[in-house]
Every structure is written in C-alpha cells, then in structure tokens.
Structure 1
Amino acid sequence: MTSKVSKVTFGDFHYWLPKVLTAIAIIAVSSFISCSSGNGKNQNQLLIEVPIVELKPMSITVPKTYVCDIQAVQFVEVRAKVEGFVNRIYVDEGQFVKKDQTLFQLSSNEFNEMVNSANAKLRQAQAEAKAASLEVERLKILVDKNIISPSELELARSKRAVAESAIAEAEAMLKNAKIGLSYTTVKAPFDGFVDRIPFKTGSLVTAGDLLTNITDISEIFAYYKVTENEYLQYMRTRLENEGVLDQEVSLILSNGEVYEHKGKLETMEADFERGTGSIAFRVRFPNPDQLLKHGATGKVQMEEELKDIFLIPQKSTFEIQDYTYVYILDKDNKVKVRSFKPLQRFGLFYVSDSFEQGDRIVYEGIQQVKDGIQIAPELKPEKDVYDTLVKS
C-alpha cells in the first residue's frame, strides 16, 4: 500500500512564514507578560498579614502564695513532774480552761508524809536553837561575874550557830517537800484548750510522762518558707521603706476558702535552712472564733508589685524543652526567633523583664510564620491584647 505525500510549493512556504513568525512573537510576549504578572502575585502572597503586639513596660500587682504551717501562739506539753497514780481528772479533751485551773490530781500520801516529817525536823531544830540561845545568855552572865572563862561562852555561841543552821536546813527540806506535794496537783499554765488525755484515772505515771497538751489559739502563727532571692528582695523593699512594711497577708484555708481576718508579717528565722537554702517567715493572724487549730495547713497569700515589666501573651509563645520562645520583628518586618525566661505566670500572660519598649512580637498565628520570613504586620490594639487581664 502506497502513502500519499503532500507537496508544499515554495510559494506556499513564502506565504505562510510571516504569519507563523507573527504568531510566535505574540505567544512569546504574552508568556512574558503572564510570567511577570505571576511573579508579582507570588511575591505579594509571601507577605502574609500577621497580628502583632508592641510591648510596653507596665507595673502590676500580682498575688504570691506559699504553703504554710499553722501553729498556736502558745503550745505547751503538760507532763508529770513526780511519780504517782492519777487519782482524779478534772477536765475533758477539747475543753477550754483558764490559767491555774486544776487539770489532774495525782496521789499525794507520800508527799504529805514528807511534808509532815520536814515540819517535825524544823520544830526540833527551832527548839534546839532556842535552847542554845538560852545557854549563851546564861553563860554570858557567869562570864561577866568572872565565874567561868570566856572560852565556855564562845563554845556555847558556836553550838547556837549550828542549831540556827539546822533551822535553815529544815526549812529548805520543808520547802522542797511542799513543792513536791504541789506537783501532785497539775494546773493549766495559761488559758487554752485541752488536747488528748492519754492516761485515765488509776493509771500510774512517772516523772516526765505526757498528761496532755494545752494550746492557746486566741491567735495563731503561720510559718512559710521563701528562697534566698525572695528574702533579699523583701529586705531591699523594707530598707527602701525605712524598715516599715505594713503589708496585709491573707490566709487560704485547706478547703480553698479565704480566711476572713488579715495577718501581719512579724519576723523571720535567724538562719537559712541547710539543704533547701530557704528561710521561714512568721505571720500572726487573729483567731477570735477559734476556727484555726494548731497543726493545720494552708497557704499565705500576699500581693507583690512588679514595676517596668512586660506581659507576654501565652498564645504568642511556644516551648522547646525547657526554653520559651517568641517571634520578634526587626525594622524590616522580618521574623526572628527569640528565647526569654519568664519570671512567673500572671493569668494568660508570662511576666518577663527580658524585652525593651517598642519590641514587636507576633501576637497570634505563630504556626503560619517561621524564622527569617518577612510579613505584613497588623498591629493589634492594646485594649484587645490585655482585655483578659482587665476582666480578671
């Protein structure tokens, strides 16, 4: 089978060549214009609009809380001073008692006998001393009449001195016997509440055994520990205020309620605790309703004023391992990654002092940007950025 081949004459080629060249030129120009328009469009698309915030220094008051131990203003262990049986218990556990009110009565027969014996020895010593004094007076008359020698008078006076010293010894024995007898009656050392009573009536107690505890909770102490840096900051502020720092302290109870009475920071320990490097502060709280008990727990809360700090929205940050980062803009609106160390959290913000006034950071949409790209910044109004702060 033979194929037919079309023949093109020179005249036909001469006729079509100009038209083909013209079409090629038009296509080339159109392609150039199209490419130019496309590049410009892509460049505009790279400059994405991203909300930013311009940082300004500000002063805020932030709450600071510390775990604390609550202790009674007075807490005393009532212990037996002598051995004996518990004859009677006059109070009950949890009862409020007054100072010098009788709590326990221990057996006292042995101490009564010691008192009686000491009284007898005292009377004997007094009688002997009286007889010695009479003997001195008698011998003095005889010496004055030169009937006996003065040496006998001196001997009598020495015997009188021995008898008088025996009186002093007997009085001391009687005093000690009475003190021992008084120890059998156990009294409250101050106004307070009776704790648990481990020994019951008839129990044998020895010297040193714990009978109960007495707690005075008309006021309470709250002890909390701070770091050395916080201690130095407190002392610096105190010195700036000429040693006076009348700051009210709140107490948050274990159930989350805020105690209705405010406390006053009074004093601190003398030394830092080894190992932890912390030091304890003491706050005194009134306790008119006896709501707080010795040994309870809670948190003390106080307000701290931070000056010239920057609030960084948490939505503007991201973390890699232990570091916190933001995207910051340079003068050409190029994004740079920058790390910073937050001082603490405050609501939905990080508190930091690592920035300068006028620094611009990406406010939101940080997933859309990366280090080194140029963006079209959209400045976010300050009231919108810190709106949550105002509401809180």
Structure 2
Amino acid sequence: MASCEHAESAEHAEILALPVVTPLRKDVSLDRAYVARVRAIQHIEVRALERGYLDEIFVDEGQVVEAGQKMFVILPVVYRAEVAKARAEAEAARIEYENAKRLADKNIISPAKLALAKANFEKAKAELALAKAHLKFTEIRSPFRGIMDKFHVRLGSLVDEGELLTELSDVSKVWIYFNVPEAEYLELAPKLEEIKQRPLRFRMANGKIFPHVGKIDTIEADFDVETGNIPFRATFPNPDLLLRHGETGTVLLPEPYPNALLIPQKATFEVLEKRYVFVVDDQGKVHQRAIQVAAELPHLFIVSEGVTETDRILLEGLRKVRDGDTIEAKVQDPTEVYEHLEPYAE
C-alpha cells in the first residue's frame, strides 16, 4: 500500500508547471528594405559657350545659386568689339536702305537695287544679333536653383568652347533609385498601383530615417540581365537640401499585414527546416504542431497556418517536454507577454 502511494506521488511530481500563452491578433506592418542611391531631379554639366579666358567667377563650390544668377564670365573684350562693329555695319546698311528707298520712290533706281539694299540691311541686323548672342554667351548663368559642384577650371584659365566648368544639381526634390529582385517584383506586380500610394521612408547612411516620406512614381521597363533586378524610382521632397546627388542609403517599403496572427519566436522550434510549436489542450496534454511562418518581426512570427487565436501555446520549457506529455498549464496574460519579449536563441 505504501509503495503505491509513493509511485503516485512520484507521478504527480513529474508534472511540470509551464507558462502558456495564446496568439495575438493585431494589425502590423513590415518594411521591405532595398539598397538605394540618390539622384538629383536635375543634374547638369555647366560648359563654356565661347572660347576665351575665364575673367570672373561669382560663385563658390557647394554654394546654392538661384535661377538666372551669374556664375562665370569669359573675357568679353573681343566680343564687345564685334558687337560694336556689327552695330556700325547695321547702321550703315540702314542708311543705304533708306537712301535707296527714297531713290526708288522717285524711280531713280530699279526695284532690284532697292531689294538688294534691303537684303544687305537685313543681313547686317542678323550679324548684329549674332554678335550680341556671342557676347551674351560670355556670361554663364544658372538655369535653375541648385547647388554648385567642384570647379574644373580656375580664374584666368583659357577655356575652349564646350569645356566643362562645373556641375549643377537641383535637389529640392530627389529621385531615389532602388533595385527589386525578379521574384519580389512578381509578388508585388499584382498590387503595383496600391504600392505606389504607400509612403516610403529612407534610411540614411548614418542609420537615421530621413524626415520626409516619398512615393514610387515609376518602374523601368527592363530587368538587368546580369543581376536579375528591375529599378524602381521614388520621389522624395528635400526642402532642407539634406540629401545630395550620389548619396546612398536604404529605401523602406512598408508591407501591411492586417489582423495578423502573432506568436513569440521563443515559443517555436525547428526540425528539418520546418517550424513547430507545442499546443496544450484543456487537459494539459502537449501536442506538437507544424506552423507556417508568413513573416518575421522582432521577437515575433506572423503565422499563416497551424494555430488559431484560441490555441494555448507553450511559451517556455520547450526542451523539457515531448509530444504527448502532460503539464500544468500556467496561462499568461498575452498583453503582458508580448510587450516584454526578449531575444532568444534556439
């Protein structure tokens, strides 16, 4: 009789009291991360339009310049002289044309000579306009508001027509390009129009998030045959000019999971590349069950198959039990558990 009581007490002593928790339903969002590069919406080369000595520089490297602001002047002495010469020739042609017109009115000269005088006058006016254009080209002005890049020439340099002086970038808005792998593109393709409305974030090289959000506005036509990626382009406002042409970072594309079923990562274990949980029934019996993980959050898994929100999942002590064991289930408050999850190692 005593031995039977001892065996019964030993059996009860072997029943472990372990915490269990139910899955949590919650709207969550994950970020798809893509390496990205920043491009100015306008980035141009500023080149000399005439040959000559660089006479004046009115700006500096890195300076913000306004549209129409004077940046460089090519020595204009020769071009001013050409304008003066063309103006004098135009005036002479005008006088000849007016004299010819008076003579033609009196039938002293033929209409052909009048037409020739008029043609010479028009030619002289055209040559004056051309000379003025050449003179104007000695002044190089900014075509838009932007940031100056480094100078490729210095004051007093002899520059040729078309020689590169500097670059100019308009970064009031920026285009951010990022590459999407083919498999992900095919996953995103059916909902591209909806994805274009999602607010994108940009994580800069220092790990901080850029304070303005952007949106996808275009996708290039072809995949890169070498990488298997297709470039996406997003536009971000950049009112403080923080982002610059050529900068790098990471685009974060939000992926919403409405009414997602969440379980703690530490409540799962892996066998032969499949993930499982222990579900505890009302009698305290442990059942091993396979689950399908849809996505991963910090300390949490989003589960698409395998458990329901009413199942009681073993939270700790997974190595202490086996399928079919009986435990004493200590039900935990899901809100408290999910707020204080810590990293775990399998």
The answer, yes or no, to whether TM exceeds 0.5 is yes
Q: 2:73 aligns with which of 86, 105, 118?
A: 105
Distance 2:195 2:62 in 1: 43
Give the gaps of 5 or more residues in structure 1.
Answer: 1-29, 141-152, 239-244
Could you say which residue in structure 1 is the equivalent of 2:264? 313
Q: 2:218 aligns with which of 235, 249, 268?
A: 268
Structure 1 residue 199: Cα displacement: 0.6
CA contact (8 A) 2:294 2:301 kept: yes
Structure 1 residue 257: Cα displacement: 3.6
Could you say which residue in structure 2 is the equivalent of 1:208? 162
Q: 1:235 aligns with which of 164, 188, 193?
A: 193
Residue type matched to 1:335 in 2? H
Q: Give the 5 Å matches for 1:238-387.
A: 245=197, 250-259=201-210, 261-265=211-215, 267-269=217-219, 271=221, 273-274=223-224, 275-287=228-240, 290-300=241-251, 305-319=256-270, 323-329=273-279, 333=285, 335-343=287-295, 345-357=296-308, 358-370=310-322, 372-376=323-327, 378=329, 379-387=331-339
Structure 1 residue 346: Cα displacement: 1.9
Distance 2:341 2:9 in 1: 40
2:60 counterpart SS class = coil
1:81 counterpart SS class = coil
CA offsets per residue over residues 239-290 of structure 1, 9 Å max, x none?
Answer: xxxxxx5x6655544323444x433437334546533034222222321xx4
Could you say which residue in structure 1 is the equivalent of 2:57? 89
Matched pairs, number: 330
Distance 2:51 2:5 in 1: 109
CA contact (8 A) 2:291 2:306 kept: no
Distance 2:36 2:91 in 1: 60
1:295 counterpart SS class = coil
Structure 1 residue 328: Cα displacement: 4.4
Distance 1:389 1:79 in 2: 60
CA contact (8 A) 1:272 1:279 kept: no
Task: Give the TM-score of the pair, scaled to structure 1.
Answer: 0.68
Distance 1:60 1:91 in 2: 50
CA contact (8 A) 2:173 2:235 kept: no
Structure 1 residue 64: Cα displacement: 5.7
1:69 aligns with 2:20: no
The verdict on how the C-alpha distance between 1:230 and 1:282 changes in structure 2, with shifts beyond 3 A counting, is farther
CA contact (8 A) 2:216 2:232 kept: no
The verdict on how the C-alpha distance between 1:116 and 1:49 changes in structure 2, with shifts beyond 3 A counting, is same
Could you say which residue in structure 2 is the equivalent of 1:165? 119
Give the gaps of 5 or more residues in structure 2.
Answer: none
Q: Which has the larger radius of gyration?
A: 1
Structure 1 residue 104: Cα displacement: 1.5
**Segment drifting more, 120-129 vs 182-191:** 120-129
Distance 2:250 2:195 in 1: 22
CA contact (8 A) 1:326 1:339 kept: yes
CA contact (8 A) 2:46 2:166 kept: yes
Distance 2:130 2:328 in 1: 92
Could you say which residue in structure 2 is the equivalent of 1:178? 132
Root-mean-square deviation (CA, aligned residues, Å) is 3.8
2:72 counterpart SS class = strand
Distance 2:9 2:231 in 1: 62
Distance 2:204 2:4 in 1: 72
Structure 1 residue 306: Cα displacement: 2.0
Structure 1 residue 348: Cα displacement: 0.9
**Higher share of residues assigned helix:** 1
Distance 1:108 1:43 in 2: 105
CA contact (8 A) 2:219 2:230 kept: no
Could you say which residue in structure 2 is the equivalent of 1:199? 153
Distance 2:302 2:286 in 1: 25
CA contact (8 A) 1:100 1:190 kept: yes
**Segment drifting more, 327-336 vs 159-168:** 327-336
2:131 counterpart SS class = helix
The verdict on how the C-alpha distance between 1:138 and 1:389 changes in structure 2, with shifts beyond 3 A counting, is farther
Structure 1 residue 119: Cα displacement: 3.1
CA contact (8 A) 1:248 1:263 kept: yes
**Segment drifting more, 183-192 vs 44-53:** 44-53
1:58 aligns with 2:26: yes
Distance 1:284 1:355 in 2: 44
Distance 1:209 1:104 in 2: 13
Identity of aligned residues (%): 25
Structure 1 residue 74: Cα displacement: 4.3
Distance 1:124 1:324 in 2: 96
CA contact (8 A) 1:308 1:353 kept: no
1:57 counterpart SS class = strand
